[in-house]
Amino acid sequence: MILHSNIIGKGKPFVILHGFLGMSDNWKTLGNQFAEHFEVHLVDQRNHGRSFHDDNFYYEALAEDLKHYFEAHNLKDTIVLGHSMGGKTAMLFATQFPDLVSKLIVADISPRFYPIHHDTILKGLKSLDFDTLKSRGQADKQLANYVSDFGTRQFLLKNLYWIEKGKLGIRINLKALTENVSEVGEALPIHAKFDGDTLFLRGDKSEYIGNQDEKIIKSHFPKAKITTISNAGHWLHAENPEDFYNAVTNFVN
């Protein structure tokens, strides 16, 4: 099965991968900006957005999905950008299929292992009872028992959609993602290496990429540059889109 995507613009192909519990729609605004110069592919990864659901969920499978997507769309010499979990997929893909990637951009994630930290969010999403919930407002109120941050809740609630009039549903495969949540923090395989041009972007308020990560980044990506985006946390592309766009544009040009 081929991943769902939204393709906009013309020119050199530019693939963008969202993070855990996100979707391609999260990148619509920046995607439209990049589409002024590139053919942008906003991709939904498996068990997310409008892409297919599968019980298997681990990075080798996500990279394989991307390989099938590249073949289906005849993509070569492509810029690949991934945020968080999407960054891990992008890293693995670039190390496995370096000939397909002209430049790699990784947003706020390191190749190292991360402990599980999404369990409360997943419990909150699991608590949403779509037989009784009749509005996004009600869903937000319920989710607030688990997730205090308003911005994070709005991000998560983008996964809700109307199955039919008066009946809400959720797009993500919550069961598979909950059962395999430990996979999200897995490290890049120790010998995985990509010798091409690579940019790591980190938010200055985020702890996902620290100074201690520089060594492991360079061991996998010898040409990597690490740039800090100011006034931004983990969702750096949403919190400071202007600086994010400029950093990416300067790198790809």
d(CA 49, CA 23): 5
Residue 149 CB burial class (10 angstroms; 0-12, 13-18, ≥19): exposed
Other Cβ atoms closer than 10 A to 193: 14
Q: Widest CA span of the chain, in angstroms?
A: 53
d(CA 49, CA 71): 21
Question: Would you call 228 helix, strand, or coil by DSSP?
Answer: strand
Catalytic, out of 4, 41, 83, 234: 234
Q: Which of 30, 4, 3, 29 is nearest to 201 (CA)?
A: 30
84 catalytic? Reply is yes
Query: Do residues 213 and 110 touch, judged by C-beta distance below 8 A?
Result: yes
Query: Do residues 78 and 14 touch, judged by C-beta distance below 8 A?
Result: yes
d(CA 188, CA 104): 15
Read off the tokens for 47: 């068990």
41 catalytic? Reply is no
Catalytic, out of 84, 206, 220, 237: 84
- Catalytically active residues, by annotation: 84, 234
